[in-house]
Structure 1
Amino acid sequence: MPHAAVAEVSTTSPTPGITYTISELAREFDLTTRAIRFYEDCGLLSPQRAGRNRIYTARDRTRLKLTLRGKRLGLTLSEVKELVDMYESPRDTQAQLKKFLTVLAMHRQQLEQQMADLHVTLDEVRTHEKEAKRLLNSP
């Protein structure tokens, strides 16, 4: 789903009983197993254990998908965790949506500032290019 919001996907297990290995998730999402373990250490994923093996549920898979979407939106992992946890809880949906809008507004402002900074930098580069070309063409 292109540029979908973090909150669009329910984190309830659509197909209970289906499980995944860390390698299967790594392949599916084009990640390293180390990255998946890092997300686990951050509290974003909580696989079950069978001896030394991790067993990921459909819920873990969905949380991983939402984590990657949040990263694409520019959210920090702590913001992603807060939002994903919020949508799993039975709390008031209005408060959840307001928090999500606040986070998105902050990131939009940051991106707009970065874009303005990039435009200024590009203008400076163009000016230097013109000046260098002028100097090359002058006798």
Structure 2
Amino acid sequence: MAATYSISDLARELDITTRAIRFYEEQGMLSPERRGQERIYSAKDKVTLKLILRGKRIGFSLAECKELIELYDPSHGNRKQLETFMDKIAERRDQLQQQLLDIQQMQLELDTAEERCLIALAETDKKQSVNS
């Protein structure tokens, strides 16, 4: 018999909320069986959730995660999925590199602003001491 999980089992095991799991289900990314009101998740649903969480950790949008998951086709191999994943990794690296450059530029601008403020404060203190 294949492994199955309740929503609370998955939430506990993957350290996420049941609300998050229901959200991914609403987005069409999970499709648990139903037994009355109870959701029964398969091993495939668990793997899908792990992939979603991994994708979110590395900065992929939910749409990108969904695209990658939908590309998986075990009957034809997963070359297309892996190639797309590699493309998205390269894109994400480029975005992060640009963000790093932007942060470094902002730090330089903050350093300059701080230096100007310190000089202005020193001049203000000097003027006040001369006028006192």
Residue matched to 1:125? 110
Is 2:40 aligned against 1:55? Answer: yes
Residue matched to 1:82? 67
Q: Does structure 1 retain, via aligned residues, the 8 Å contact 2:32–2:40?
A: yes
Post-superposition CA distance 1:29-86 (Å, at most 9, x none): 2322111111011122111111011011221111101100011111111211221222
Flag the 1:34–1:93 CA change in 2: closer, same or farther, 3 A. Answer: closer
Q: Secondary structure at the match of 1:46?
A: coil
TM-score under structure 1 length normalisation: 0.78
Unaligned runs of 5+ in 2: 127-132
Residue matched to 2:27? 42
| Identical positions, percent | 47
Unaligned runs of 5+ in 1: 1-15
Alpha-carbon shift at residue 111 of structure 1 (Å):
1.4
Distance in structure 1 (CA, Å) of the matches to 2:57 and 2:117:
37
Distance in structure 1 (CA, Å) of the matches to 2:115 and 2:9:
52
Structure 1 runs of 4+ with >6 Å offset: none
- Cα RMSD between the aligned structures? 1.8
Residue matched to 1:27? 12
Flag the 1:32–1:90 CA change in 2: closer, same or farther, 3 A. Answer: same
Post-superposition CA distance 1:104-133 (Å, at most 9, x none): 122221111111111111111121222222
Residue-pair matches, total: 124
Distance in structure 1 (CA, Å) of the matches to 2:3 and 2:79:
32
Task: Please say which structure displays the higher CA radius of gyration.
Answer: 2
